Chains A and B, each alone.
Chain A
Amino acid sequence: GAVVSQHPSWVICKSGTSVKIECRSLDFQATTMFWYRQFPKQSLMLMATSNEGSKATYEQGVEKDKFLINHASLTLSTLTVTSAHPEDSSFYICSARDRNRGLEAEAFFGQGTRLTVV
């Protein structure tokens, strides 16, 4: 089956620094990628949707200048948490689907990245 690889699986950084998380589709073209955030014992909240070659669409309440998303190729999307603060500590998960396969194309998930800001 299709695989989405997310890296790193965990990261600890200092307040004020930036962290980049990568999401790669390994054997299909991810025309659309989604970034989710999950706080402990809570559900996945959609942060943004990105289509290859265009700007990401952010959900209400998500700061686009803080969470920079780049979807420069059909196999790679990156999420950069800029000037990270402890409240940004969370579990971030990417998802990818190939819209060229139609509306029922399955969404595949990365393994997630646990970010801890100290």
Chain B
Amino acid sequence: SQQGEEDPQALSIQEGENATMNCSYKTSINNLQWYRQNSGRGLVHLILIRSNEREKHSGRLRVTLDTSKKSSSLLITASRAADTASYFCATDAYGYALNFGKGTSLLVTP
């Protein structure tokens, strides 16, 4: 069952600005992952953060995880028009199916 909830549902920013998306979940997890999806296409895995980690970086991406609040955030710094896509968090509960949040639709305008 779906358990992730992202906010905002939609975000519009200009190139160069930072974009922050949040995700909340309900049950215990092994790890939390963020994915990107361009319109009508497959998923691109961005980053995975384990339940015992609090922050992780990958290029222009920064992910935080607060297991006490059951929440995570994805920060994209210095955004580009090519970052325009939908972003989903997905929780992994010990080897079973990933449960996806509702997603945030990001629009980056030149």
Contact A109 B102 (CB under 8 A): no
Chain B positions 6-33 with a Cβ under 8 Å from a chain A Cβ: 30-31
The answer for the CA separation of A102 and B1 in the assembled complex, in Å, is 22
Report the tally of A-B residue pairs with Cβ distances under 8 A.
59
A49 in contact with B95 given A109-B42, A111-B42 (CB within 8 Å): no
The answer for the CA separation of A112 and B105 in the assembled complex, in Å, is 19
Contact A112 B41 (CB under 8 A): yes
Please pick, from A32, A43, A112, the residue contacting B42 in the complex, using a CB distance under 8 A.
Answer: A112
| Residues in chain A near residue B43, CB distance under 8 A | 44, 93, 109, 112
Q: Counting CB contacts under 8 A, is A99 at the interface?
A: yes
Contact B100 A103 (CB under 8 A): no
The answer for the CA separation of A34 and B99 in the assembled complex, in Å, is 11
| Residues in chain B near residue A28, CB distance under 8 A | none
Q: Counting CB contacts under 8 A, is A68 at the interface?
A: no
Binding site for A on B (CB under 8 A): 1-2, 30-31, 40-43, 45, 48, 50, 88, 92, 94-103, 105
Binding site for B on A (CB under 8 A): 6, 32, 34, 36, 41-46, 49, 59-60, 91, 93, 95, 97, 99, 102-107, 109-112, 114
